[in-house]
Each structure stands twice: as C-alpha cells, then as structure tokens.
Amino acid sequence: MTPKRLNFITGNANKLREVEAILGDLVDLRSQSLDLVEVQGTIDDISVDKCRRAAELVKGPVLVEDTCLCFNALKGLPGPYVKWFLHDIGLEGEVHFAAAKDALADEPEGLNNLLAAYDDKTAQAVCTFAYSEGPGSEPKIFQGRTDVRVSHYLLVVGQILTYVKGKIVPARGPSRFGWDPIFEYEGRTYAEMTALEKNKISHRSKALEKLKAWLKGDA
C-alpha cells in the first residue's frame, strides 16, 4: 500500500516547493522540520540512516531527502559533504560580487575552486529520497542523477552546438538555492533556469518521478 499522505522532513522551503510542484496533486504533502544528524558514508547509507532516525523520532511515516554534488575529477566528492563546503566557503562570484572592491584582491572563495587543478569540470547532481512507513520499517530509496553525457544540437544555421551535461562553472544567475549558480547543465546554470525548466531536467525531479511512479503504483 502506498501512502496517501507524505510527511516530508525538511526545513528547506525551496526543496518543499520543488516537491510540491511534482507531487502536490498526487498526495497530501505535509512538511516538518527536524534537527537530524547525518552519518558519513555512501550516499545510500546516509539516506537510509537518516530516514530510519526520522521515522523513530516522528513515530510514523516519513520522507527524507539528501542532495549531493559529485565532482568527477574528485571521484564523486564532495558528494554528500557538499553542504559543509557550501556553508563554509560559499560560491566564487556570488561572494565577490557582494563584497567590497578591496576584497577582490583577496583569496578566491568557493566550492568551484576545488576543481582549479583539474581540466575535468564535469559533475553530477544526485538526489536521494528515502521513505519509511515508520519505526523498524526498511526505508525505500528513490534516486535521481543528472546525465553527464555530452549533448549536441544542430542549429538552424547549420552549426553544431555541443554542451557537456553537468559541469562546474563560476557562479552565474541568482543565488537563491544552494549551489544552483555553479552547476551548469547544457549551457545554463540551474540558477539561470526557471523553476519549470529546472524541474524538467533536475536530479531532484528525476528522483521525484520515481517516487511518483511508485505512489501511482506503476513501479
């Protein structure tokens, strides 16, 4: 039996909005903010552990989410630890545009600079939802990853435009949501897309489509 109501554990209004946009007409979506400790480990281990803890705290069904940004040159890191890097060193560009001119001479800041030594700037965004029916019930995982393949477009003028899908770039676009300004997908950063555009291709929407299929009984 799939649930008719989901208790999404998040304190992040942006994530809630993205989930509502995709699942809102299918289930009764509630949200609750919990101060949950996360473990270190693989992406799946972290989500499963977090989901178990949440179910025990809430004593009922829960949906949790974890987002990773995996740099290929760093073999998938910072991955699940990206939030600490984002919190502590921010994004290049974003920080400097806001700072006084003097600060421009200072050290660069930002997550994107971790790749300064590498030519390979490709990256993959990974979104993992985990659902548990309650304490003691094994969490079910729904994961979405952005593609990393190159895409080609034949333009009207006869030229071929090539985009790497998923690439780390200096920050572009409004910094309303985490590392969106430095994650470029087919030529535009997440931050440069509208919510609708992003929801079509994002790691989170891919995970949500799997969750949606399961809720509808298709998976």
Annotated binding site for Mg(2+): 38, 66
List all residues 6 or more positions away from 135 whose beta carbon is below 8 Å from its beta carbon: 55, 56, 59
User: Does 105 participate in binding a second copy (rule CB under 8 A)?
Assistant: no
Cβ atoms of residues 50 and 130 within 8 Å? yes
CB of residue 93 to a second copy, shortest distance in Å? 13
CB of residue 47 to a second copy, shortest distance in Å? 13
CB of residue 36 to a second copy, shortest distance in Å? 10
Pattern 121-160, binding to a second copy, x per CB under 8 A? Answer: ----------------------------------------
Name which of residues 63 to 82 contact a second copy (CB under 8 A).
73-81
User: What is the DSSP secondary structure assignment for residue 138, as one 8-state letter?
Assistant: P
User: Does 120 participate in binding a second copy (rule CB under 8 A)?
Assistant: yes
User: Does 170 participate in binding a second copy (rule CB under 8 A)?
Assistant: no
Task: Measure the CA–CA gap between 219 and 132, rounded to whole angstroms.
Answer: 16
The sign of the torsion formed by the CA atoms of 34, 42, 134, 3 equals: positive
User: Which of 21, 34, 58, 89 touches a second copy by CB under 8 A?
Assistant: 89
Task: Measure the CA–CA gap between 78 and 102, rounded to whole angstroms.
Answer: 30
User: Which of 3, 11, 41, 174 touches a second copy by CB under 8 A?
Assistant: 41
Q: Where are the alpha helices (DSSP H) in 99-216?
A: 195-201, 203-215
For the chain, what is the largest distance between any 2 Cα atoms, rounded to a whole number of angstroms?
A: 60
- Backbone phi, psi, residue 158, to 5°: 95, -5
User: Does 118 participate in binding a second copy (rule CB under 8 A)?
Assistant: yes
Q: CB under 8 A: which stretch of 36-44, 97-105, 165-173, 193-201 binds a second copy? A: 36-44
CB of residue 141 to a second copy, shortest distance in Å? 18
User: Does 113 participate in binding a second copy (rule CB under 8 A)?
Assistant: yes
User: Which of 1, 35, 59, 88 touches a second copy by CB under 8 A?
Assistant: 88
Task: Measure the CA–CA gap between 216 and 7, rounded to whole angstroms.
Answer: 17
User: Cβ closer to a second copy: 102 or 119?
Assistant: 119
Task: Measure the CA–CA gap between 132 and 139, rounded to whole angstroms.
Answer: 4
The sign of the torsion formed by the CA atoms of 162, 182, 96, 177 equals: positive
Instruction: List contacts with a second copy (CB under 8 A).
Output: 37-41, 49, 73-81, 84-85, 88-89, 107-108, 113-114, 116-120
